[in-house]
Structure 1
Amino acid sequence: MSITCGIDWAEAHHDVAVSDEHGRILARRRIGADLGLQRAPRAARRALRRTGHCPGRDRDGKNLLVTALQHAGFDVYASNPRAGPVTGYATGRPGRSPTQATQPCLAGILRTDRHLHRPLPQIIEEALGIKAAARQHQEAIWALHQTISRLRAVLLEFYPQALVAFPKLKHHAAMAALAAAPTPDAGMRLSKRKIISLLRGCGRRNDPVLVDQIHRDLRTAALRQPEPVEAALGVTVSGLIEIITAMLRTVAALEKHLTSTFAEHSLAPVLPSAPGLGPILASRVLAEIGDDPERFSSANGLCAFAGTAPGDPSRSLPLCQGT
């Protein structure tokens, strides 16, 4: 008898459903995130031992339960319950919530359409560390850019002179000057000697033209907010600058760790040989594709997975297809 197991994971618990080859539900149970499969139905444990197949809703294998299943030697198939036929099945059953229908649907997908899904790759621990560092580095950069955009929006509300003086807020000179003068009044009181000191403190050379330009821009007349509003927004600017400074240090630390870790991987001499790939981008490629040489049977399969396969507008189909 062929048995499939569907697991719908969440933050505090996991919902497990086991079905046979005819789609009948043999068992279902909600297990805690701390105990994993120890409290799963015995039918689920037997199914995992017997078949080694477990479809989960995790898209990229970051969930602890998915990681534990992979380390135990099981093949894990990822499926998104909110996409395609899963949503229709989960929401089209009267009297049942989508959560109640998700696990049987996941098990059914693996039972009928296993050939259309790719199991999560088996990646060595060194590559898993590179994958974690690469994704955290990328997410840290995204968060940094979002915070800088928020700082720009706040400055537009009451301090447009700062954006004229420092069009690139990410630069250390901009961070240092705005930390010393977070309000228009403080910017007007900023002397040339103080600006020179701030530029030297962040490693910039003594450029009289730059100093004059910053001093002139910060003193440019502009519309003003009431004084209480400027004081409140000035506190916000100071806080955002402290956050951005800490985030810049975090991004630099992650980049240093990622570069040193990637240099120890066996594919370090290979991936950067591709045009345009340095250590950071090569690490991201390794994180998304993995280091399993058996994962793709052809170059076309890798192109299709990466979404870089060229298309034919007349057929609306990719030219590169493969597994």
Structure 2
Amino acid sequence: MRLFVGDDWAEAHHDVEVMDASGRRLAKARLPEGVAGMARLHAMIAEQVGDLAEEDVEVVVGIETDRGPWVRALVAAGYTVLAVNPLQAARYRERLGVSGAKSDAADAHMLADMVRTDSHQLRPIAGDSDQAEAVKVVTRMHKTLIWERVRQTQRLRHALRDYFPAALTAFGDLDAPDTLELLAKAPDPASAAKLTIGQISAVLKRARRHNVADKAVQIQAALRTRHLGQPPALTAAYAASIRALTAVLLTLNEQITAMRKEVEAHFGRHPAAEIILSQPGLGAILGARVLAEFGDDPNRYACAKARKNYAGTSPITRASGKKKVVIARFVHNDRLIDALIAQASTAISVSPGARAYYDKQRARDADYNAALRQVANRLVGILHGCLKTGTLYDEVTAWSHQAELAA
């Protein structure tokens, strides 16, 4: 017996529908988030199962997320959970009707019907270990904080450009600890011009800068340079904003450092860490991100091509009639592709095989980004082979096929 469950989730509740193999609705309900809701869902399914043995029943659940306590509880109950991409769900909704009507109950029905008819096209929730999930949590937070620091730094830059452009000349790295300390101490042109060589030097020493004396003189000279400014009232308002931004950035710097230690600790305890670290271009942080986004379910990727497709490094082909175009994948995991491209950019400097492969792509008139993406694609295949066989990276073995083709 097969039962199909559509689960349209929200923060506080779940609209669910249970459907049989013929598409007939057996039950539907709105369940609260949490233990009580999960108990009611189990009761709904048990009512349909009756006295059948557990091994004679398969429950397939379609839901538009792959994480959270609710999803883990579904997996723990022995249900087959299919994570439906919201874009796929939207297209399937259009397939069922073109009116544009939408409701939570209708979406639950749509998800149930989708897993009933197209479960072979959908990806089950990965069976990643708790260790891999922990690595994912800390690496994603670490990267999120870095992205947030970039945003706050851009806000700081735009504000300084509007009322204190001399500061942009004085400080090259706006999120550096010494820059933030000096801006917090003197956030307006008048107070910055009063900073002494001794005050600036003390801040640079705390930040462990080199050539402190020369840099202090350069910063002081830049801060005292005449520039177009703003009226006093507006300058005071900007200065208050700068104090707030520097405080946020100082906190972000502290938390990024703390989360980096967490990433290294969690990643270092994972069994696959040694294999991943053996890959060219991967250190502890990038390696942790790669592990986190790929997961460690040994059955998730049937072959290297499947892993490459998930990574978004492999190209896609669009062919119609006489027209055929090969292009990069637009839909991908941003965090994963970011880590893989960063790996490739380093690998071409430390791996002769990766460099030769990159030069080969460039010789075919591929631009920098396209060539780097091809290197990343090749490195994903190498990583897949190492993880499948449990072997460390070997430069000769990894690029032997390319050497044979060149010969």
Q: TM-score, normalised by structure 1?
A: 0.90
Q: Distance in 1 between matches of 2:82 and 2:99?
A: 24
Cα deviation for residue 153 of structure 1 reads: 1.4
Q: Distance in 2 between matches of 1:303 and 1:143?
A: 29
Conserved? CA contact 1:4–1:47, under 8 Å: no
Matched position secondary structure for 1:269:
helix
Conserved? CA contact 2:205–2:212, under 8 Å: no
1:286 aligned to which of 291, 316, 319: 291
Q: Distance in 1 between matches of 2:269 and 2:137?
A: 15
Conserved? CA contact 2:5–2:59, under 8 Å: no
Matched position secondary structure for 2:18:
strand
Measured against aligned partners, the alpha-carbon deviations of 1:220-272 in whole angstroms (never above 9, x if no partner) come to 11111111111111111111111111111111111101101111111011111
Measured against aligned partners, the alpha-carbon deviations of 1:158-196 in whole angstroms (never above 9, x if no partner) come to 111111111221222211211111111111111111111
Conserved? CA contact 1:159–1:183, under 8 Å: yes
More helix per residue:
2
Q: Distance in 2 between matches of 1:104 and 1:312?
A: 33
Conserved? CA contact 2:170–2:218, under 8 Å: yes
1:36 aligns with 2:59: no
1:54 aligned to which of 48, 61, 66: 61
Cross-structure match for 1:161: 166
**CA gap 1:24/1:215 in 2 versus in 1, 3 angstroms:** same
Matched position secondary structure for 2:16:
strand
Conserved? CA contact 2:81–2:125, under 8 Å: yes
Cross-structure match for 1:268: 273
Cross-structure match for 1:254: 259
**CA gap 1:22/1:52 in 2 versus in 1, 3 angstroms:** closer
Cα deviation for residue 10 of structure 1 reads: 1.1
Q: Distance in 2 between matches of 1:280 and 1:185?
A: 42
Which deviates further from its counterpart, 104-113 or 301-310?
A: 301-310
Residues 64-103 of structure 1 correspond to what in structure 2 (within 5 A)? 64-83=69-88, 84-88=90-94, 92-93=98-99, 96-103=101-108
Residues 139-288 of structure 1 correspond to what in structure 2 (within 5 A)? 139-288=144-293
Counterpart AA for 2:129: I
Cross-structure match for 2:26: 26
Cross-structure match for 1:134: 139
Matched position secondary structure for 2:5:
strand
Q: Distance in 1 between matches of 2:118 and 2:234?
A: 60
Conserved? CA contact 2:83–2:125, under 8 Å: yes
Q: Distance in 2 between matches of 1:137 and 1:179?
A: 25
Matched position secondary structure for 1:309:
coil
Matched position secondary structure for 2:298:
coil
Conserved? CA contact 2:163–2:230, under 8 Å: yes
Counterpart AA for 2:155: R
**CA gap 1:184/1:42 in 2 versus in 1, 3 angstroms:** same
Conserved? CA contact 1:200–1:206, under 8 Å: no
Cross-structure match for 1:16: 16
**CA gap 1:91/1:147 in 2 versus in 1, 3 angstroms:** farther
Q: Distance in 1 between matches of 2:99 and 2:43?
A: 27
Cross-structure match for 1:105: 110
Q: Distance in 2 between matches of 1:317 and 1:99?
A: 38
Counterpart AA for 1:285: V
Q: Distance in 2 between matches of 1:127 and 1:204?
A: 38
Counterpart AA for 1:218: L
Cross-structure match for 2:2: 2
Matched position secondary structure for 2:8:
strand
Conserved? CA contact 1:309–1:318, under 8 Å: no
Matched position secondary structure for 1:8:
strand
Cα deviation for residue 310 of structure 1 reads: 4.0
Conserved? CA contact 1:5–1:55, under 8 Å: yes
Identity over aligned pairs, percent? 32
Measured against aligned partners, the alpha-carbon deviations of 1:266-317 in whole angstroms (never above 9, x if no partner) come to 1011111111111111111111111111112211111111112245577446
Conserved? CA contact 1:172–1:202, under 8 Å: yes
**In angstroms, what is the RMSD of aligned CA positions?**
2.4
Q: Distance in 2 between matches of 1:73 and 1:3?
A: 13
Conserved? CA contact 1:55–1:106, under 8 Å: yes
Matched position secondary structure for 1:40:
helix
Conserved? CA contact 1:90–1:98, under 8 Å: no
Q: Distance in 1 between matches of 2:247 and 2:97?
A: 46
Q: Distance in 2 between matches of 1:196 and 1:128?
A: 45
